[in-house]
Chains A and B, each alone.
Chain A
Amino acid sequence: MRGIAEAFNKAHVAQGVRVDMSFFPDFQYSEKLAIAAAARDLPDVFDLDGPLVARLVDAGLLAPLDDVIDATERDDFLPTIIQQGTVDGKLYALGSFDSAVVLYYDREMLAKAGVTPAVEDEGWTWGEFMAACAKLKAEGIEPLAMHMDDGADEWFTYAFSPVVWSGGGDLIDPDFAQTRGVLASVENVRSLTDWQEIFMKSYAATDPVDPNPFDHGKVAMDWTGHWMARSHLEAKGARLGVMRLPRVGAQSSAPCGSWCWGISAQAKDATLAAEWLRWVTDAKTGVEPIVRANGAVPSRTSAFEAFPEYERMPYKLFREQLETTARARPRTPFYATLTGRFAAALRDIARGADVEGRLKQAENEVQAVIDRRGGTGGRKIKIKKKEKESEGRP
């Protein structure tokens, strides 16, 4: 990141401008951002987690990027990056990289238990997945790692929403205002009862101690993200197999999302902020060095050329699912509440809580927070409508 900033400053010496970077530790970054926002002390341009974009837009803190990135350039970005940064039809944030979750497996361990893996970009149905787990278990092999660590709240929503989506359900209604009747829908109760079976039959640990049991040969399959690809390839070599996440319904689903850059609505120098945003999301000056450093999936089609590994598995699958079935997490101003309550529900469900009752509790808790803020929300919606009217005028 410092390297990118230095390159930016070097390239802009002639204009006499430079960027100064402030780094915050990741720990409670979002809280620090909120405090900076409350104190009207936001930087002109800043990095934020994708699902928080809607909240900052709702508070009027982000400026739209319509004039920063034109339509042709926009088409070069992965559809998931555009979806993640778009609120009410306007683009507010862009990232340099995206993410993926897949099911990795050890070919030899599966073969030993007589399990046939699915084709990479199809994946298993839930029934096939459970049958595979049962065979592995019968063979004395621990089937699966799900990384149910206590500290990682966002992991739950991020990694397991695809289960809900593949079963035809959702976390919140399309207008992002109603969780009641959506989160605890019949579909979701069915999908998550299927998901709960993994833990009830001890196919995966609810309280894992080893953060990487797959590479250590303790489990046969790993439900995890692109960030483990390098380590898994090193540990397994040709034994590493990969496929889409198993699906509850007909259509498989995948998560996406990453940190992205937005411009403050009160930016002192919006032009310069835009310049930086373009620099850091540019295929050559931003995406390439960042992806080299963090190993994530490049956010732009034109940037994939620099990464020949995307011709092969598992990387190929990351790109494929981001271009087809991946979905951004709900872009609601209430995302932080939603993900917190949903993650807590998933944690309890994995440990045997009644699925329907626990989901009902979660949807009521989130709805209470949404309803409470309804008053201010109503006013804001009016303001938005006005903007739309003025846009419509010739």
Chain B
Amino acid sequence: MTEWERRRARSAPWFLLPALGLLAVFVVWPLLRAGWWSFTNADLLSPERAHGIGLENYGDLWADGRFRSAFANTWVFALLVVPLQTIAAFFMALWVNRPEPAWRMLRGVFFVPVVVAMPVLAVLWTLLYQPAQGGEMGPVNAALAVFGVPAQAWLRDPVLALPAIAFMSIWQGVGLQMMVFLAGLQGVSKELLDAARIDGAGAWQRVWHVVVPSMRNTIIFVVTVTTILAFRIFVQPYLMTRGGPGNSTLSLIQSVYEMTFVNQNLGRACAAAMAFLVLVGGLTWLQRRLLKEERE
């Protein structure tokens, strides 16, 4: 190593310090504190009175019917959204992957819901899902009536509310994944596709045997990110149904929020937040293990 290189190596930590410092103050320290509080009976308004109660908060979470509902709902939501949104985004990307202006415009149209603020969309979809009242019904019911489907009380029905919100969320988020897939599609070798065509492969075969394997890394990225985002569901049900009817659309994040600010039970809220962190972190790790990215 030359003298200059040695000097550079010595100065490196100083350049890292600001970033590490910020990370420590704003991520590591709060996380440690939350971890500590999760083993205490801390009260939001007087955390200094807290004393340790061991694993009681964690045990309570499983005894708490509302938290269990939130846990189950969030899983159902993720299981609906992740596969459907990924598949829809993939085929939309194939569809709009053309250079002509009309398709470029279509890409823009699909991307609009990603840009619009979620609360606006939540209000919009609440109106779209309006149940029949008197002689009036919401546009979704009116559209389905054309096909002879009877009017549903979408957001008011304990069975339909969560799927209705999942559908709206897929519609909202699919544009982003589509864009990522579009970028991935540009990396698919044209020679391979042409070769497959000459060998007589049909459209489906080309997608399945050429496009999908070439986009492996992109697909893994999209699935991982969509999973994390799906588990973080909060705004749509909070604004559209407030977690109801009953607890049928209560999300994990809403339940943590309520523990913190409504029940003001900081200890329990921190335990729930830590459980959430472990859940999402664990899932992400598992996905990375099972679906190994290819590195050249």
Contact = CB atoms under 8 A, between A and B. Distances in A.
Interface of A: 30-31, 34, 37-38, 55-56, 59-61, 150, 153, 202, 205-207, 334, 336-337, 340, 344, 347-348, 351, 353, 358, 361, 364-365, 368-369, 372-373, 375-376
Given A34-B264, A55-B264, A365-B65, A348 B242 contact: no
Contact of B47 (A38, A202, A373): A38
Given A38-B47, A60-B46, A150-B126, A336 B264 contact: yes
A59 B262 contact: no
B133 A59 contact: no
Q: Which 10 A-B pairs have the closest CB atoms?
A: A59-B45, A59-B46, A37-B45, A336-B262, A31-B261, A348-B245, A369-B263, A337-B263, A351-B156, A340-B262
B44 A336 contact: no
B165 to A, nearest CB: 14
A238 B240 CA distance: 40
B259 to A, nearest CB: 9
Nearest to A343: B242
A351 B243 CA distance: 15
Given A202-B134, A369-B263, A373-B265, A344 B64 contact: no
Contacts of B258: 340
B151 to A, nearest CB: 13
A368 B60 CA distance: 10
B244 interface: yes
B131 interface: yes
B46 A369 contact: no
A31 B64 CA distance: 23
Interface string B208-245: 00000000000000000000000000000000111111
A207 B126 CA distance: 10
16 contacts: A30-B261, A37-B44, A38-B44, A55-B264, A56-B45, A61-B45, A150-B241, A336-B263, A340-B262, A344-B243, A348-B245, A353-B245, A358-B246, A372-B60, A372-B265, A376-B41
B261 A34 contact: yes
A38 B44 CA distance: 6
Interface residues of B, number: 34
A237 to B, nearest CB: 29
Contacts of B49: 376
B206 interface: no
A375 B41 contact: yes
Nearest to A58: B45
Nearest to B264: A34
B269 to A, nearest CB: 12
Contacts of A38: 44-47, 266
Contacts of B47: 38
A358 B246 CA distance: 8
B242 A150 contact: yes
A55 B45 contact: yes
A348 to B, nearest CB: 5
A348 B244 contact: yes
A334 B264 CA distance: 9
Interface in B170-227: none
Nearest to B49: A376
Contacts of A376: 41, 43, 49
B124 to A, nearest CB: 14
B268 interface: yes
Nearest to A205: B133
Given A30-B261, A348-B245, A365-B66, 14 more contacts: A31-B261, A34-B45, A34-B261, A37-B44, A38-B266, A55-B45, A55-B264, A150-B240, A150-B241, A340-B258, A351-B245, A368-B65, A372-B268, A375-B53
A372 B53 CA distance: 12
A348 B45 CA distance: 31
Nearest to A334: B263
Contacts of B131: 207
Nearest to A366: B263
A290 B219 CA distance: 60
Most interface-central of B44, B131, B264 (chain A CB within 10 A): B264
Nearest to B67: A368
B130 interface: yes
Contacts of B65: 364-365, 368
A201 to B, nearest CB: 13
Contacts of A34: 44-45, 261, 264
A372 B66 CA distance: 14
A59 B47 CA distance: 10
Given A61-B45, A372-B60, A207 B245 contact: no
Contacts of B126: 150
Contacts of A150: 126, 240-242
B72 to A, nearest CB: 16
B265 A348 contact: no
Contacts of B64: 368
Contact of A153 (B66, B130, B242, B261): B242
A336 B244 CA distance: 17
